[in-house]
Amino acid sequence: MSEVLLASPAAGTGATPVPAASGARQFWRRLRTRRAALVAAAVVALLVLVAVAAPLFTAVEGQDPTTYHPALVDSARGGVPVGSFGGISGDHWLGVEPQTGRDLFARLVYGARVSLGVALAATLVQVLIGVVVGIASALGGQWVDQLLSRLTDVIIALPLMIMSLALLAIVPGNFPRPVLVALVIGLIAWGGIAKIVRAQTLTLKQLDHVAAARLSGWGSWRIARRELLPGLAAPVITYAALLVPSNITVEAALSFLGVGVKPPTPSWGQMITAADVWYQAAPQYLLLPAGALFLTVLALTVLGDGIRTALDPRAASRLRVGTGRRREARVKDATGETATTATAAKTGAGA
Amino acid sequence: MRQPSVRARRVAAVSVSLFLAAGAAACGPKDNDAKGAGGGDSKPQKGGTLTVLNSNPQEDFDPARLYTSGGGNVPSLVFRTLTTRNRESGAAGAKVVPDLATDTGRPSENATVWTYTLKEGLKFEDGSPITSADIKYGIERSFAPELSGGAPYLRDWLIGAADYQGPYKDKGKGLDAIGTPDARTIVFHLNKPEGEFPYLATQTQFTPVPKAKDTGTKYEEHPVSSGPYKVVSNEGDGERLILERNTYWSAATDEERKAYPDRIDVRSGLDSSVINQRLSASQGADAASVTTDTNLGPAELAKVSGDKELAARVGTGHFGYINYIAFNPKVKPFDNIKVREAISYAIDRTSVVNAAGGSSLAEPATTYLPDQKSFGYTPYDHFPAGASGNPAKAKEVLKEAGYPNGLTVTLTHSNSKDFETSPEIATAVQDALKKAGITVKLDGLEDNDYRDTIHDAKKEPGFFLAHWGADWPSGGPFLAPIFDGRQIVKDGANFNNGFLDDKSVNAEIDAINKLTDLDAAAKRWGALDSRIGEQALTVPLFHPVYKRLYGKDVKNIVISDWTGVLDISQVSVK
């Protein structure tokens, strides 16, 4: 994944001067040509809907994620769900959890809240810190740059999982857990985005409109806000889109290791841990959260890749999933796209 | 998997160095009637190799250092002791019987002096005779700091033993509390009456050790056998232990050990799921295999119980053990007995049992003592919750307690995956109390942190999951450490979690310890348990049941209520 991510700094750089409105239109036009990305977007939209409307979905089913149903499991056989396919019935659409009899559908949709919520919040934290540090080090003096760049190096070098495990273990138990997990992931893994923003900002600084702004006496803050941020949008969005699935995996892994959200709050990673011993006796218990996790990460990755290509067709994906290359080429011609390919080399300098 | 590793429990118990090692007993033998399981109906024959597939190695294989209940399972093949467990299935297996001695001990009138006579014709693996001096020496060396690891009872009970440092110091000064008037007689002088001394004499510290062969800390590599097998190879500190017949052992002097196989091959360090997988496949050498430390987990049980062939190869055992909720009455609102009662009424034992693995792996408990006769089990249910809780009654009691609108409490538990104090049990409790208007917040701690916290009198939480097991099947080591007010430890490992210091309870504990009639003592332990139960300092949840697979060719399965595990000394593979 990191290769894909590192390719992105080049992405936005060339496209900067394009006015926002026409950029957005072009972006949509290009994204539309990638069927895989569209399908992925639909899946992601559905997942977000499920997560946001989780109480609604479970109300329709008539269940909630925490109530025990001891009558629905066979206590003498270790608590395996009664009935075929893990106890699937009109009342329990995806069956029930072994040992407890809690409704799996309810736990799965509530688990989506945790997985998506934590991943999105963590991404937000990463983007915020990354952009601020990146711009500050590009615009600041030599000392500031040195200091912030080395700090970024250190952050990148930190082993994410080990640091998260350590941090989550020492924070008192009464701190709200999902917020904590999001913060920990966000605070540890912002190094990549900071590097990209710094490189991009260094390039943008050379451009005429920024120089003009500086000559007319604008302060650094105003320049950053008015002249630099629009140009940073593309690479940042691209990078963020690819960070979300990676954050989902980290959250699941932390929950799997038992330091994520606390029971009885369901999370996919936690469900997978509890289910791993049941793969033979109650396979659907493991397959449901694992499948949901797989689908989500795949959809988000494909969508992220689609966004990247749409924002910068020159750095076309190596994935080439459902790209419809020929069609894309035609669209490119039609829109009169003349990518300034020469800039690629120039931008590389910053990275 | 259900059972925390023997080693982890042992380490915990030793580190707290109080009476009970909560689970040190997991290495004992027992015999459950296997109903002709596995190998058919033919009589057990001598010969063959028995393989033992275990997770935990036979670490520190030195009789001075082992912490066992009733002498352990594998250790008991090599080390004979003054007394031992009765090698029979079920309740009969919870009795103490003579081993090296001719009886289980002759007490003085107040049970402070215990005398044993050795059988005739006892020999070590080199053919030299076993004398009472060898037993005395074996006990003395267990006091050496470099050979620590055993239970703390000897140091507590023997006169002048509190500061004794073993025979390696002070020019081999011995313990005067142990007398050996002749080669076959040994006398123990205790500083207080202890009617249960015969139970203690089953532990490996009572194994004879020939002084001439003692190599100190290296003795564990090749301890001199007094039992039916001797060590021929010990790799990686008990990771791979190979035992073969000790030709000087005579079945005529040993009524307990059958010793059918010619060779025992103990392989440890295996993952529990691998052990269960190998035992269920039962291929090749695994057909003649057993495990002494790995239970079937809930998911494995679900698979095994659906397969007749496998289900016939499961040994079921009961070990004296309790999983419960503990209260600290120094923490509000648990100082109010009505709050503790309300929680007792609200508990849903069906959900809890399911969370612990279902009715085949756990039995609901309303008494603190295990439901076995040897513990003096006296049924009581002071705050009846029925099978699935009585939230209405709980709400009523909560109102009397001054909480008409319910209350919010925090339940502390561990984050281990042991199905005992783990999150699964905690969430089941949480769900049950919700119905009674009690909101439970969960505070899960890492395993070590959890143990330190609940055993530290200053940090002890108000409401937490706990468990307890006994070193021998009696009410004494079950109740005394938890409810004897004189055993409250202010700085250090404290097990009296309810800080109960009731003069009449303390006096009754002393009175029962004087009894040498173990049946009479058991009855009074049971009555005491019921009396303490009225104070609602604990909510008993469940007693675990052990289910373990064994290979196709394994015969003569004996599982006693002492250890709950099949007894290796009885197993045949031919």
DSSP B329-377: TTSTTTTSHHHHHHHHHH--HHHHHHHTT-TTTEEE-SSSS-S-GGGT-
What pLDDT digit, counting tens, does each position of B100-153 carry?
999 999 999 889 999 999 999 999 999 999 999 999 999 999 999 999 888 889
Interface subset of A 215-244, CB within 8 angstroms of B: none
pLDDT in tens, B163-187: 899 999 877 788 999 999 999 999 9
Partner-chain residue, chosen from A67, A262, A279, that has the shortest CB–CB distance to B431:
A67
- pLDDT at residue B356, rounded to an integer: 92
Task: Indicate the SS3 state at residue B316.
Answer: strand
Q: Which residues of B touch A86 (CB under 8 A)?
A: none
Provide the pLDDT for residue A315. Answer: 52
In degrees rounded to 5, what are phi and psi of residue B50? -100, 125
Tokens matching residue B32: 């459950």
Q: Given an 8 Å threshold on Cβ–Cβ distance, is A263 in contact with B423?
A: yes
Helix, strand, or coil (residue B326)? strand
Name which of A70, A79, A263 is nearest B357 (Cβ-Cβ): A79
Does residue B22 register a pLDDT over 70?
no
At residue B247, what are phi and psi to the nearest 5 degrees? -70, -15
Check: CB of residue B239 under 8 Å from CB of residue B57. Answer: yes
Q: Which phi-psi region, left, alpha or beta, contains residue B292 (left: φ > 0; alpha: ψ -120 to 50)? A: alpha
Q: Are A232 and A204 in contact (CB under 8 A)?
A: yes
- Closest-CA residue of chain A to B297: A78
Band the pLDDT of B38: cuts 50, 70, 90.
very low
Amino acid B167: pLDDT: 92
Instruction: Answer whether B463's CB lies under 8 Å from B480's CB.
Output: no
As a whole number of angstroms, the distance between CA B570 and CA B88 comes to: 9
pLDDT score, position B149: 87
User: Which residue on chain B is closest to A74 by alpha carbon?
Assistant: B358
- Angstrom distance (rounded) from CA A167 to CA A250: 14
**What phi and psi, each to the nearest 5 degrees, are found at residue B560?**
-90, 165
CA distance B58 to A91: 51
Across the strands, what pairs with B50? B264
Distance from CA of B150 to the nearest CA of A (A): 33
More confident residue, A26 or A125: A125
B362 pLDDT higher than 90: yes
CB A278 to CB B426 under 8 A?
A: no
B424 touches chain A (CB under 8 A): yes
The structural architecture, per CATH, of the domain B57-265 is 3-Layer(aba) Sandwich (3.40)
Q: What is the pLDDT of residue A88?
A: 86
Nearest-5° angle of CA B22, CA B25, CA B30? 145
Contact criterion met (CB below 8 Å) for B148 and B165: no
Q: Does A320 touch chain B (CB under 8 A)?
A: no
Mean pLDDT of all residues in A295-322: 72
Confidence class for position B20, pLDDT limits 50, 70, 90:
very low
CATH class of A32-314: mainly alpha
Q: Which residues of chain B are within 8 Å of residue A95 when distances are taken between CB atoms?
A: none
Nearest-by-Cβ selection for B388 from A70, A99, A282: A70
Put simply, whether B305 touches A (Cβ < 8 Å) is yes
Task: Tell me which residue in B358, B430, B442 faces A79 most closely, judged by beta carbons.
Answer: B358
**Higher pLDDT residue, B417 or B87?**
B87
Amino acid B41: pLDDT:
54
Q: Chain B partners of A66 at a C-beta cutoff of 8 Å?
A: 427, 431
- Name the one residue in this structure whose structure tokens are 């290979």: B551
Average pLDDT on B540-557 reads 94
Report the candidate in B463, B399, B389 with the shortest Cα–Cα distance to residue B433.
B389
Residue B187 φ/ψ, nearest 5 degrees: -125, 135
A281 at B interface, C-beta within 8 A: yes
DSSP count for chain A of H helices, then E strands: 17, 2
Establish if B418 touches chain A: CB-CB under 8 angstroms: no
Q: What one-character DSSP code corresponds to residue A226?
A: I
Cα(A182)–Cα(A185) distance, integer angstroms: 5
In A, minimum Cα distance to B415 occurs at A258
User: What pLDDT sits at residue A330?
Assistant: 52
Interchain contact, B360 vs A100, CB within 8 Å:
no
Mean pLDDT, all residues of chain B: 89
* Cα separation, A109 vs A48, whole angstroms: 10
Q: Does A330 touch chain B (CB under 8 A)?
A: no
Q: Is the pLDDT assigned to residue A351 strictly greater than 70? A: no
Q: What pLDDT digit, counting tens, does each position of A243-271 carry?
A: 888 898 888 888 877 778 887 888 888 88
Contacts of B275 in chain A (CB under 8 A): none
Q: Which two tokens stand for residue B391?
A: 């939230």
Interchain contact A78–B (C-beta under 8 A): yes
DSSP states of B100-167 as a string? SBSSS-EE-TTS-EEEEEBPTT-B-TTSPBP-HHHHHHHHHHTTSGGG--S-SHHHHHBTT-TT---T
What is the distance in angstroms between the Cα of B415 and the nearest Cα belonging to chain A?
7
Check the CA dihedral B388-B392-B395-B401 and report its sign.
Answer: negative
Distance CA A29, CA A22 (A): 10
Q: What is the pLDDT of residue A87?
A: 84
> Are the C-beta atoms of residues B127 and B248 closer than 8 Å to each other?
yes
Show the CA angle centred on residue A75, arms to residues A71 and A81, nearest 5°: 65
Q: What is the pLDDT of residue B31?
A: 40
Whether A75 and B353 lie within 8 Å, measured CB to CB = yes
Residue intervals in chain B for CATH 3.10.105.10: 321-544
| pLDDT at residue B34 greater than cutoff 60 | no
Q: What residues contact residue A5 under an 8 Å CB cut-off, 6+ apart?
A: A192, A239, A242
According to the model, what pLDDT value does residue B4 have?
Answer: 37
> For the segment B404-436, what is each residue's pLDDT rounded down to a tens digit?
998 999 999 998 888 899 889 999 999 999 999
- Which residue did the predictor score with more confidence, A95 or B17? A95
| Chain B 317-356, residues with CB within 8 Å of chain A CB atoms | 348, 350-351, 353-355
Chain A CB within 8 Å of residue B306 CB: yes
Distance from CA of B304 to the nearest CA of A (A): 9
- What is the value of ipTM here, to two decimals? 0.73
What CA–CA distance (Å, rounded) separates B333 from B339? 7
User: Smallest CA–CA separation between A70 and chain B, in Å?
Assistant: 6
To the nearest whole number, what is the mean pLDDT of chain A? Answer: 80
Task: Give the C-alpha separation, A231 to B312, whole Å.
Answer: 72
Closest to A107 in 3D by CA, of A99, A97, A116, A122? A97
pLDDT of B26 over the 80 cut: no
Interface contact A99-B298, CB threshold 8 A: yes
The nearest alpha carbon in chain A to B434 belongs to A67
Neighbours of B60 (CB within 10 A): 19
- DSSP letter assigned to residue B307: -
Does the structure show a pLDDT above 90 at B202?
A: yes
In this structure, the strands spanning B240-245 and B263-267 are antiparallel
pLDDT greater at residue B365 or residue A161: B365
Chain A residues within 8 A of B415 when measuring between CB atoms: 258
Q: Per the CB < 8 Å rule, is A78 touching B446?
A: no
Which pLDDT score, from 0 to 100, does residue A12 have? 41
Q: Which residue has the higher pLDDT, A132 or A210?
A: A132
**Per the CB < 8 Å rule, is A263 touching B427?**
yes
What was the pLDDT predicted at A241? Answer: 85
Neighbours of A340 (CB within 10 A): 12
pLDDT of residue B204: 95
Instruction: Give the model's pLDDT for residue A314.
Output: 59
Over pLDDT 90: what percentage of chain A?
Answer: 23
Q: What are phi and psi of A60, to 5 degrees?
A: -60, -40
- Percentage of chain B surpassing pLDDT 90? 75
Cβ–Cβ below 8 Å for B299 and A280: yes
∠ CA B440-B544-B438, nearest 5°, is: 15
Minimal Cβ distance to A77: which of B305, B388, B427: B305
How many alpha carbons lie under 13 Å from residue B83 in its C-beta half-sphere?
24
Distance CA A69, CA A82 (A): 11
* Topology at the third CATH level for domain B321-544: Dipeptide-binding Protein; domain 3 (3.10.105)
Residue B35 has pLDDT above 70, yes or no: no
Of A76, A98, A281, Cβ closest to residue B360: A76
Closest CA to B24 of B297, B236, B319, B272: B319
- φ and ψ of B242, to 5 deg: -115, 125
Residue found by looking up tokens 């920024």 in the block: A210
* Structure-model confidence comparison of residues A345 and A45, the more confident one: A45
pLDDT at B547 over 90: yes
Tell me which chain B residues have a C-beta less than 8 angstroms from the C-beta of A79: 298, 302, 354-355, 357-358
- Judged against a pLDDT cut of 50, whether residue B17 lies above it is answered with no
Alpha-helical segments (H) within B147-238: 153-157, 197-200
Question: Which of B142, B144, B145, B137 lies closest to B153, judged by CA?
Answer: B142
Average pLDDT over residues B64-70: 91
Cα distance between residue B60 and residue B221, in whole Å: 8
Residue ranges per structural domain of chain A: 32-314
Residues of A in contact with B430 (CB under 8 A): 264
Read off the pLDDT of each residue in A52-74 and give the average, rounded to a whole number: 89
Q: What is the pLDDT of residue B152?
A: 86
Q: Which residues of A touch B358 (CB under 8 A)?
A: 73-79, 99
pLDDT score, position B154: 92
Tell me whether B447 touches chain A (CB under 8 Å): no
pLDDT score, position B151:
86
b/e burial code for range A190-211 (CB count within 10 A of at least 16 → b)? bbbbbbbbbbbbbbbbeeeebe
What CA–CA distance (Å, rounded) separates A221 from A169?
Answer: 38
For residue A166, what pLDDT is reported? 83
Distance from CA of B495 to the nearest CA of A (A): 24
Q: How far is CA B509 from CA B150, B196, B368, B387, B429, in A?
A: 24, 12, 16, 32, 32
Judged by CB atoms closer than 8 Å, whether chains meet at A78 and B358 is answered as yes
Q: Which of B354, B360, B441 is closest, CB to CB, to A73?
A: B354
Residue B471 in contact with residue B24, Cβ under 8 Å? yes
Q: How confident is the model at residue B244 (pLDDT cuts 50, 70, 90)?
A: very high
Coil, strand or helix at B28: coil
Q: Give the per-residue pLDDT at A349.
A: 36
Confidence at residue B246, expressed as pLDDT on a 0 to 100 scale: 95
Give me the amino acid identity at B470.
A
Q: Does A76 touch chain B (CB under 8 A)?
A: yes
Contact status of B415 with chain A (Cβ, < 8 Å): yes
Contact state of A70 with B354 under an 8 Å Cβ cutoff: yes
Whole-number CA gyration radius for chain A: 23
Residue to mutate among B274, B303, B430, with most A CBs inside 10 A, is B303
Q: Closest by alpha carbon to A307, among A2, A4, A16, A50?
A: A4
Residue holding tokens 């301890």? B223
Q: Which two tokens stand for residue A79?
A: 């608590």
pLDDT tier, B23 (very low <50, low <70, confident <90, very high otherwise):
very low
| Residue range A103-156, pLDDT digits in tens | 999 999 999 998 899 999 999 999 999 999 998 998 888 899 999 999 999 998
Strands (E), chain A: 73-74, 80-81
Which chain A residues touch B300 with a CB distance below 8 Å? Answer: 78, 277, 281
Say yes or no for a CB contact (<8 Å) between B358 and A77: yes
* A147-184: b (≥16 Cβ within 10 Å) or e: ebbeebeebeeeebeebbbebbeeeeeeeebbebbbbb
Instruction: Count other Cβ atoms within 10 Å, centred on residue A143.
Output: 8
Interface contact A176, partner B, CB < 8 A:
no
Q: For residue B150, what pLDDT is reported?
A: 86
What pLDDT, on a 0 to 100 scale, did the predictor assign at position B351? 93
Neighboring chain B residues of A74 at a CB cutoff of 8 Å? 302, 358
Compute the distance between CA of residue B346 and CA of residue B407 in angstroms, rounded to an integer: 13
Give the minimum alpha-carbon distance from B29 to chain A in angstroms, rounded to a whole number. Answer: 25
Answering whether pTM is above 0.90, one says: no
A-chain residues near B301 (CB < 8 A): 77-78
Q: Does A111 touch chain B (CB under 8 A)?
A: no
The answer to whether residue B28 scores a pLDDT higher than 80 is no
The pLDDT of residue A89 is 85
